[in-house]
Structure 1
Amino acid sequence: MDYLSNKQEIASYTGVWRGRILGEETILVSLPQCVIELEEVLRLLISEGVDRIIFLGTAPVCMASAEESTGRPVEFMISNEVVFAVQGELVTVPADKKLVDLGLAAAENIAETWNIRLLAGKLISPDIPFSVAEGPYCTDREAITVHESCWRNNLSFVTVIINQDFIPEENQTSTKGFLLIKGIFEGIRDLQQ
């Protein structure tokens, strides 16, 4: 970041930092596990006028069928759509295609140096049947809460999930996650020029 300022405590375990990444005004948020606090954070972001949310989280990444697995585990998944239930009805919301494409391009750009494996897949609410899954998918309650709020507030969004099986390799995985997010920001900058 170009600078860090205004660390704020929104809720008991939440930090908010403001700054710029590659010239793009950015609000970084350490999200709480508690849904009530998470909703408070989302209200703050919406009140700040954010126009997109890029969510980075960890969860198990699964394949819908054994045939789709190439034998090499998926290290990262980027959501191309999110599936959740609203009043008992399944809702499927596509992630922002430009942000998804920027994430895939970022992975391609660093693949040779960092041996990264990122696939596009579905982010599925843990309380709906996994039979809606095709290809790679994952469940993450916090990401679903964030994206349901984005959908309700007409915000662009994308999620990058680190497969929790790779967390023990934290240093390299964290670096790859940072490079993916940085690549998305570089793509946003290039699109705006």
Structure 2
Amino acid sequence: MSLIVAGRFTTFPAAEAVAEKLFSRGFVEEDVNLFFVNPRGQHARHTPHPVHNAVAPPHRVRNLTAGAVAGAVVGVALFGALLSASLPSIVIAAGVGAWIGARIGAGWQRPAEHEARVHHETRQSGVLLAVHVSAENQALAADVLRESGADDVERASGQWHAGHWADFDPTEAPHPYAEAGVQRA
């Protein structure tokens, strides 16, 4: 794992100007990476083609079943009450009612279930300037980022490969860079 210090900027020109300051302070080009972090919720966390599980969660099965039964009863009651229908008509009404009720039931969930499924991201969008650092020069990189007006200066451990932060995860909360306990060069 590599040690990384990063700061967020509003624009690429602002981040590029700070990269130039880092180069003048001894950092090399392959240790500095600029990239844009999309706004919250726009990180393509899911595959383009959804993979459906063979087994539905228990609450979905329960809601689907309850909706189907309620829909069938309502379908038969409405159709039977409005018309003195034949047996095939009532069976069709029950089937249509069950289908509609199942669709409604499958989509229904309690607020607590919905809240558990919502992903809460804390990382702000913007241009991230990431610097591959060592224990000796991490404080220098953080100082340059702060002095240049970087927002959310953070410290991370990650894979640095070919001049890029290879395993950056935009949905992971940033770990603020704190000077306490950090070695100064």
Same fold per superposition (TM over 0.5):
no
TM range (shorter): under 0.3
* Structure with more strand by fraction: 1
**TM-score, structure 2 normalization:** 0.28
